Amino acid sequence: MSVLEVDGLTKKFGGLVAVDDFSFEVGEGEIVGLIGPNGSGKSTVFNCIMGIYGVTDGAIRFNGTDITDDSTHEVVNKGLSRVSQESNPIDSMSVAGNIKLFTLPNSIVSLRGGASEEEIYDYAARIDIEEHLHEMPDELPHADVRRLEIAKSLATEPEMMLLDEPFAGMNQAEITELADQIERFREQGMSMVVVDHNMGGLMDLVDRIVVLNNGDFLAEGTPEEIAENEQVQEAYLAGEGL
Amino acid sequence: MSSETDTGRGIGGRVSGAAGRVGGAAVDGLSTVTEPVDRALRPIATVYNRTLGGYFGEMNGLQFVLLVGAFLGLVTIPFWGNYTLVQATWLACIWGIFAMSWDIQSGYTGYISFGHSVLSGGAAYTTAMLLNNVNAELPMRITIPISVLIALIIGLAIALPSLRLSGPYFSLITFVAVLIFYRLIRPLSEYTGGETGLGGIETVYSTDPVMRTYAFMIPMLLIAAALLIVARSNIGLILVAIRENESAVEAAGINATKFKIWSFVLSSIPMGIGGVLLAHRFGTVTPGAFVVVDNSIEMIAMAVVGGMGSILGPLGGAFLVIMLEDVVLSGFESEIKWSILWLIVLLILVFARDGLFRKLWHGLDRLGGDRR
Ligand SMILES: Nc1ncnc2c1ncn2[C@@H]1O[C@H](COP(=O)(O)OP(=O)(O)O)[C@@H](O)[C@H]1O
Ligand SMILES: [Mg+2]
């Protein structure tokens, strides 16, 4: 059974159709790559899944439950978590404080609770930023800020993670390291959708790739199939390479 | 000796970083004197930190002395203060409640309310109208709970529709709410007493002289303790996170709207209590003294002067402003006095934006040296 089902998703911004009747599914334990040239609607798909944007048409189901009209915190509490393209840590709180926020119960009468220091350490250690727990986010190098975003996401104990351009701005060594970490999440049973604008970091990582072009579904297949797909090559010809 | 101990270590680590770094050299010199003092007092502070620190926040020896000293000075005022000072203290306790209540909502969430006097005014008018329009013999144990309940209802009536809106719209709505309340008093003068207001409220003078002060001080201290516990808990952390980055709060699986409404509830209840106390302080409720929008702005000024987002800062700010107004500057006529007061507020806004008491607190943190 599919964990995540996006069914005929359409999102319009005024006259602009950012996503047009787009469908895809993610199975349990699967890593799906979602690629497409810049502006093709990848982030918009994530924003619709996460309840940031209301959908114009279509349905989104998670574990068989309809989450199309859920608000963000409801989606998160059902086990879906997104790492945004832009990092947005709270600069006045330490790395540990930023992670802790993501473990707090959604209860107005819970004075204590949330993760203990050991648990926060464990979340940080899963993505190798446990050395930086007491630093402030603005003291961290770019790659570690990105890792903090992933640690926050892990702290919500998701069943599935949506990663929006996790490799952006990283050098080759950092990309390889992060790909290994993502691979480890999968071994721990996590399902994932990884967005990137090209296939570089995804080739060895993902089971399957879905291609989005101008908001439309373009192709789907194994990384090898997609690399050889002529339509995909054409779509990318206008802009950057695959 | 590190001045940075508190900045990164505390999980909810507060803004302090930048403010703490400024003026380091001078303070470092002073700390050769103050460090031994701090060390001597540290054992007491440590006992406090181990027992209550988790609820109210940890502190070093010097900070402990400041707080305990202020507390002891305050509760003994009826025995050493002159009449002017004692009366100013009553008012300072009430305005302290207002400033703290404003803080837990506006200071913490960043959704700035320009209309909090509608809550205290609503409670005060409820007390007055119950006594004048229903039954002059109603006891306080009936009028007080109803008045506080009305403040809560008004608070929810403002919060529920408006907190979904972005900051500026929320502020505007709270502002308009006071204007509407203020303007409605005259047309409804049959019930509200119009411009002259409503009297017939039992005043504090009917109790024993010493107890009068505690009638204001005990509610103030209880509210301060309750709000501090909330502010230092997960709830305070979430409210601050809403101010800093609301979308991160939602991404954390937390319903930001629910917490914003909750902050309004946490604010409305003590606002109602403060409004009732103010009614019993003067015995007469008038639109000019209880509702007018200036009141809302004064609460904000007190909170900002003391340091918003800290509960105790706004409390200190309220005492500072009221003491200036009623004791230090009491010789000046009202217009001049308020011009001076607003000028002081302006100077603090420009030169000590984090608030005087927050500056003082972090100064003591540095002077005390390393806590461990
Ligand atoms: N909030 C918004 N308002 C208006 N247009 C938007 C908004 N978000 C995205 N878009 C538009 O939708 C299209 C898809 O954007 P996006 O999903 O960010 O693309 P990608 O993530 O694939 O680069 C773009 O044309 C973008 O300008
Ligand atoms: Mg994008």
For the segment B340-356, what is each residue's pLDDT rounded down to a tens digit? Answer: 989 998 999 898 888 99
Are B139 and B93 within one domain?
yes
Residue type, position B184, single letter: L
| A156/A33 Cα distance (integer angstroms) | 22
pLDDT at B12: 38
Are B235 and B139 within one domain?
yes
Are B155 and B59 within one domain?
no
Ligand 1 close to Cβ of residue A18 (< 6 A): yes
Q: Chain B within 8 Å of A157 (Cβ-Cβ)?
A: no
Ligand 1 close to Cβ of residue A36 (< 6 A): yes
Phi first, then psi, for residue B91 (nearest 5°) are -65, -40
CA distance A111 to chain B (A): 5
Are B53 and B190 within one domain?
no
Let me know: does B212 contact B90? Beta carbons within 8 Å. Answer: yes
Q: How is B293-316 classified by DSSP, letter by letter?
A: HHHHHHHHHHHHHH-SSSSHHHHH
pLDDT at B370: 52
pLDDT at B318: 96
Q: Which residue did the predictor score with more confidence, B366 or B340? A: B340
pLDDT at B11: 38
Q: Which residue did the predictor score with more confidence, A136 or B13? A: A136
Cα angle, residue B64 at apex, residues B63 and B67 outer, rounded to 5°? 85
Reply yes or no on whether the pLDDT at B1 is more than 90: no
Q: Per the domain annotation, does B46 fall within a domain?
A: yes
A84, A94, A155: residue with CB nearest B8: A94
Are B240 and B277 within one domain?
yes
Domain range for residue B227?
83-295
pLDDT in tens, B80-114: 999 899 999 999 999 999 999 999 999 999 999 99
The pTM score is 0.89
Handedness of CA A45, A50, A52, A58 (dihedral sign): positive
Handedness of CA B5, B7, B9, B13 (dihedral sign): positive
Let me know: does B120 contact B275? Beta carbons within 8 Å. Answer: yes
Let me know: does B369 contact B35? Beta carbons within 8 Å. Answer: yes
Q: Hey, what are B111's tokens?
A: 């959704």
Q: Per the domain annotation, does B323 fall within a domain?
A: no
Pocket test for ligand 1, best of A9, A12, A16 (most atoms within 8 A of CB): A16
Q: Per the domain annotation, does B100 fall within a domain?
A: yes
pLDDT at B243: 95
First CA to last CA across chain A, in angstroms? 31
Residue type, position B301, single letter: A
Reply yes or no on whether the pLDDT at B32 is more than 70: no
pLDDT at B104: 97
pLDDT in tens, B230-280: 999 999 999 999 999 999 999 999 999 999 999 999 999 999 999 999 999
Measured in Å, residue A41 CA sits from the centre of ligand 1 at: 6
Q: How is B191-257 classified by DSSP, letter by letter?
A: HH-GGG-B--PPPGGGS-HHHHHHHHHHHHHHHHHHHHHHHTSHHHHHHHHHHH-HHHHHHTT--HH
Question: Which residues does residue A7 pair with via DSSP β-bridges, in sequence order?
Answer: A59
pLDDT at B24: 47
- Shortest-distance Cα residue to atom 16 of ligand 1: A41
Q: What is the 3-state secondary structure (H, E, C) of chain A?
A: CEEEEEEEEEEEECCEEEEEEEEEEEECCCEEEEECCCCCCHHHHHHHHCCCCCCCEEEEEECCEECCCCCHHHHHHCCEEEECCCCCCCCCCCHHHHHHHCCCCCCCCCCCCCCCHHHHHHHHHHCCCHHHCCCCHHHCCHHHHHHHHHHHHHHCCCCEEEEECCCCCCCHHHHHHHHHHHHHHHHCCCEEEEEECCCCCCCCCCCEEEEEECCEEEEEECHHHHHHCHHHHHHHHCCCCC
Q: In ligand 1, which atom is closest to the CA atom of A47? A: 17
Reply yes or no on whether the pLDDT at B7 is more than 90: no
Let me know: does B57 contact B225? Beta carbons within 8 Å. Answer: no
Are B111 and B66 within one domain?
no
Residue A181: HSE in the Cβ half-sphere, 13 Å Cα cutoff: 21
CB contact under 8 A, A73 and B250: yes
CB contact under 8 A, A104 and B234: yes
What CATH number does residue B118 fall under? 1.10.3470.10
**Which residue, among B308, B345, B221, has the nearest Cα to B14 in the 3D structure?**
B308
Strand order through the sheet with A208-213? A80-83, A160-164, A191-196, A31-35, A208-213, A216-221
| B297/B272 Cα distance (integer angstroms) | 17
Let me know: does B48 contact B59? Beta carbons within 8 Å. Answer: yes
Domain edge (last residue) among B19, B50, B75: B75
Q: In ligand 1, which atom is closest to the CA atom of A37? A: 22
All residue ranges of chain A with pLDDT < 50 are: none
pLDDT at B349: 86
Q: Per the domain annotation, does B334 fall within a domain?
A: no
CA distance A110 to chain B (A): 7
Q: Per the domain annotation, does B351 fall within a domain?
A: no
pLDDT at B64: 85
pLDDT at B30: 62
pLDDT at B166: 77
Q: Per the domain annotation, does B287 fall within a domain?
A: yes
Q: Hey, what are B50's tokens?
A: 């181990």
CB contact under 8 A, A73 and B254: yes
pLDDT at A77: 96
Instruction: Read off the pLDDT of each residue in B19-32 and give the average, rounded to a whole number.
Output: 51
Domain edge (last residue) among B261, B276, B295: B295
**Which residue, among A197, A241, A42, A150, has the nearest Cα to B251 in the 3D structure?**
A150
Are B100 and B54 within one domain?
no
Are B198 and B259 within one domain?
yes
Ligand 1 close to Cβ of residue A213 (< 6 A): no
Are B104 and B185 within one domain?
yes
* Per-residue CA distances from A138 to A90, A97, A129, A142, A166 (Å): 9, 13, 14, 9, 19
| B249/B104 Cα distance (integer angstroms) | 17
Domain edge (last residue) among B23, B47, B75: B75
| A216/A214 Cα distance (integer angstroms) | 5
| B103/A219 Cα distance (integer angstroms) | 54
pLDDT band of B15, cuts 50, 70, 90: very low
Q: Chain B within 8 Å of A102 (Cβ-Cβ)?
A: yes
If you average pLDDT over every residue of chain B, what do you get?
Answer: 86
Three-state DSSP state, B285: strand
Are B90 and B179 within one domain?
yes
CB contact under 8 A, B241 and A106: no
| Contacts A–B by Cβ distance under 8 A | 107
Q: Chain A within 8 Å of B262 (Cβ-Cβ)?
A: yes
pLDDT band of B21, cuts 50, 70, 90: very low
Q: Which residue did the predictor score with more confidence, B55 or B323? A: B323
Are B42 and B186 within one domain?
no
Are B160 and B222 within one domain?
yes
- State which residue of chain A sits closest to B244, comparing Cα positions: A90
- Shortest-distance Cα residue to atom 6 of ligand 1: A13
Q: Per the domain annotation, does B362 fall within a domain?
A: no
Q: Per the domain annotation, does B350 fall within a domain?
A: no
- State which residue of chain B sits closest to A109, comparing Cα positions: B235
Mutate to test the interface with A, among B250, B258, B308, B310 (most CBs of A within 10 A): B250
Domain tally, chain B: 2
Measured in Å, residue A146 CA sits from the centre of ligand 1 at: 21
B234, B249, B250: residue with CB nearest A112: B234
pLDDT at B51: 74
Q: Chain B within 8 Å of A106 (Cβ-Cβ)?
A: yes
Measured in Å, residue A44 CA sits from the centre of ligand 1 at: 6
Q: Which residue did the predictor score with more confidence, B91 or B1? A: B91
